[in-house]
């Protein structure tokens, strides 16, 4: 059954969700108040790099399954409204900034009917939905059907994750909201995807708890890397060995320069801030260590660079990959970006190569050198650092690259290089968490 849906906020989450809803056969009206973003989207282009999304989005835009507007009045005829605006880290604090969610909810409220359903998808501190429900109900003049429906998509596989999720989580106060969401997700549920109906606070918590767990897993193996580095052990082999235990599992145990992006770092900080407000800060105090371990990996690379180069002044360093993960041009809290900036601040001449993120880098930090050709990027480098595990770097020819650099030293920040092959080509390979013998 076709559902008329609105999607409010067409950033990462919203643009993907609007496309997914249209792909499922629904009629979508997307609301974006940023005029620059709206103009770009109206031309069929997505303002960030996400494999496969632009094609699917523009196809649905051309066929009329997605319509766009900046005016909330145009969503009045929709039956189901998804709030997809951002909740970034608040300036000068660890807490999440929920002001965009509150504004969107208020703007939406006066266009609702008593049978309309509003589903929040943004990641919010537990307790936010209850407050929003009161605010919206007061404006609407009736009790608004609000549900919370967190999204678990990963950048790089966003559309695929939205169309084939592990589970759909819905927190709701009434059956009507659950029923409408079930209808909207029916094409996915028909494939047997679990549909979990929870109370609202639990649904809000599922998202931050999942991200806190994932961040903890990464920091756990990076803590082991710190131990491995001083004891001659190998954290990659260790992760592999413990990962065979099904209770532990081998996913999210890749050791390296750690996690970044628009979710994991700000979500664990926001979680700590919210727990503190609720008087249970000590329950998630361990996330401070998770954050600290993660940030120490960046210090470690700067330290290794200094060990290799002595003074960094005027030393030529090439950073391979600047986005927080491959298949994305997202630079938010990117470990590779922070390391590059710190090396540059210490006097190094940093040249960044990245298959898709140089434009985003030019906007974010034009002071760093940028080079679109890999061969040119490494020419005369005295140190090469792999910061993001793009396929292109894993497959790069160490013989060729070795013939171009001034010094064949590479720090593998993601543990993806074939060490033996690089060593055979004469490289000194330094890998985080591994005590590698170089000739």
- Supply the residues annotated as catalytic: 263
Among residues 341, 354, 350, the alpha carbon closest in space to that of 317 is found at 350
* Other C-beta atoms lying within 10 Å of the C-beta of residue 241: 12
User: Nearer to ligand UDX by C-beta: 256 or 270?
Assistant: 256
Contact string 269-308 vs ligand UDX (x = CB under 6 A)? ----------------------------------------
Cα–Cα–Cα angle for 338, 340, 344, nearest 5°? Answer: 115
Among 9, 86, 120, 260, binds ligand UDX (CB under 6 A): 260
Contacts of 348 (CB under 8 A, 6+ apart): 305, 309, 312, 313, 314, 315, 316, 317
Give min distance, CB of 333 to ligand UDX, in A: 8
Q: Which of 65, 325, 370, 434 binds ligand UDX (CB under 6 A)?
A: 325
Choose which of 152, 182, 195, 425 interacts with ligand UDX (CB under 6 A).
152
For the beta carbon of residue 261, count every other beta carbon within 10 angstroms: 20
Q: Let me know how long the chain is.
A: 439
214 touches ligand UDX by CB under 6 A = yes
Is residue 218 within the footprint of ligand UDX (CB under 6 A)? yes
Of 153, 304, 361, 383, the residue at the interface with ligand UDX (CB under 6 A) is 153
d(CA 246, CA 326): 27
Q: Which long-range CB contacts under 8 A does 231-234 form with residues at least 24 apart?
A: 231/435, 232/435, 233/435, 234/433, 234/434, 234/435
In the complex with ligand UDX, the residue whose CB is nearer, 153 or 163, is 153
**Least distance from ligand UDX to the Cβ atom of residue 428, Å:** 23
Q: How far apart are CA 437 and CA 423, in angstroms?
A: 10
E strand or H helix at 170: strand 168-172
Stretch 363-382 residues interacting with ligand UDX (CB under 6 A): none
Query: By CB under 6 A, which span of 126-134, 153-161, 308-316, 341-349 interacts with ligand UDX?
Result: 153-161
How far from 311 is each of 172, 314, 348, CA to CA, in Å?
Answer: 58, 9, 9
Q: Any contact of residue 256 with ligand UDX (CB under 6 A)?
A: yes
Q: Measured from the CB of residue 24, what is the shortest distance to ligand UDX in angstroms? A: 19
In the complex with ligand UDX, the residue whose CB is nearer, 260 or 270, is: 260
Contact 196, 165 (CB under 8 A): no
Does 48 bind ligand UDX (CB under 6 A)? Our answer is no
Identify which range of 44-52, 147-155, 194-202, 277-285 contacts ligand UDX by CB under 6 A. Answer: 147-155
Q: Kind of pairing, strands 349-353 and 369-370?
A: parallel
Provide the binding-site residues for ligand UDX, judged by CB under 6 A: 152-155, 211, 214, 218, 252-254, 256, 258-261, 263-264, 324-325
């Amino acid at each position: 059954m076709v559902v008329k849906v609105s999607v409010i906020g067409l950033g990462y989450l919203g643009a993907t969700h609007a496309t997914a809803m249209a792909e499922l056969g629904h009629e979508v009206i997307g609301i974006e108040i940023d005029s620059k973003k709206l103009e770009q989207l109206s031309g069929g282009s997505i303002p960030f790099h996400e494999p496969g999304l632009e094609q699917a989005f523009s196809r649905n835009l051309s066929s009329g399954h997605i319509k766009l507007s900046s005016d909330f009045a145009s969503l009045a005829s929709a039956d189901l409204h998804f709030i997809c605006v951002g909740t970034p880290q608040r300036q000068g604090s660890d807490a999440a900034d929920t002001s965009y969610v509150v504004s969107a909810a208020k703007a939406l409220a006066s266009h609702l009917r008593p049978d309309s359903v509003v589903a929040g998808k943004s990641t919010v501190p537990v307790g936010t939905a209850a407050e929003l429900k009161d605010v919206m109900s007061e404006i609407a003049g009736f009790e608004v059907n609000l549900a919370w429906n967190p999204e678990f998509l990963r950048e790089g596989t966003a559309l695929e994750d939205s169309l084939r999720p592990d589970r759909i989580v819905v927190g709701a106060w009434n059956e009507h909201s659950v029923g409408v969401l079930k209808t909207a997700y029916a094409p996915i549920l028909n494939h047997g995807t679990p549909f979990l109906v929870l109370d609202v606070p639990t649904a809000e918590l599922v998202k931050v708890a999942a991200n806190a767990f994932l961040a903890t897993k990464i920091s756990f193996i990076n803590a082991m890397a710190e131990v491995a580095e001083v004891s001659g052990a190998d954290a990659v082999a260790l992760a592999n060995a413990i990962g065979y235990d099904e209770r532990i599992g081998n996913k999210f145990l890749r050791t390296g320069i750690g996690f970044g992006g628009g979710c994991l770092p700000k979500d664990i900080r926001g979680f700590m801030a919210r727990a503190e407000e609720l008087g249970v800060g000590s329950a998630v105090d361990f996330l401070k260590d998770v954050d600290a371990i993660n940030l120490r990996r960046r210090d470690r690379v700067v330290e290794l660079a200094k060990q290799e180069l002595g003074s960094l002044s005027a030393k030529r360093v090439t950073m391979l990959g600047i986005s927080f993960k491959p298949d994305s041009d997202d630079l938010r809290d990117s470990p590779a970006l922070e390391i590059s900036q710190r090396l540059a601040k210490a006097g190094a001449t940093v040249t960044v190569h990245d298959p898709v993120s140089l434009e985003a880098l030019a906007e974010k930090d034009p002071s760093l050198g940028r080079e679109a050709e890999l061969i040119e990027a490494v020419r005369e480098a005295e140190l090469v650092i792999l910061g993001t595990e793009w396929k292109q770097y894993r497959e790069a020819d160490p013989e060729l690259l070795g013939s171009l650099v001034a010094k064949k030293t590479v720090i593998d920040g993601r543990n993806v290089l074939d060490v033996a092959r690089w060593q055979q080509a004469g490289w000194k390979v330094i890998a985080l968490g591994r005590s590698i013998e170089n000739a």
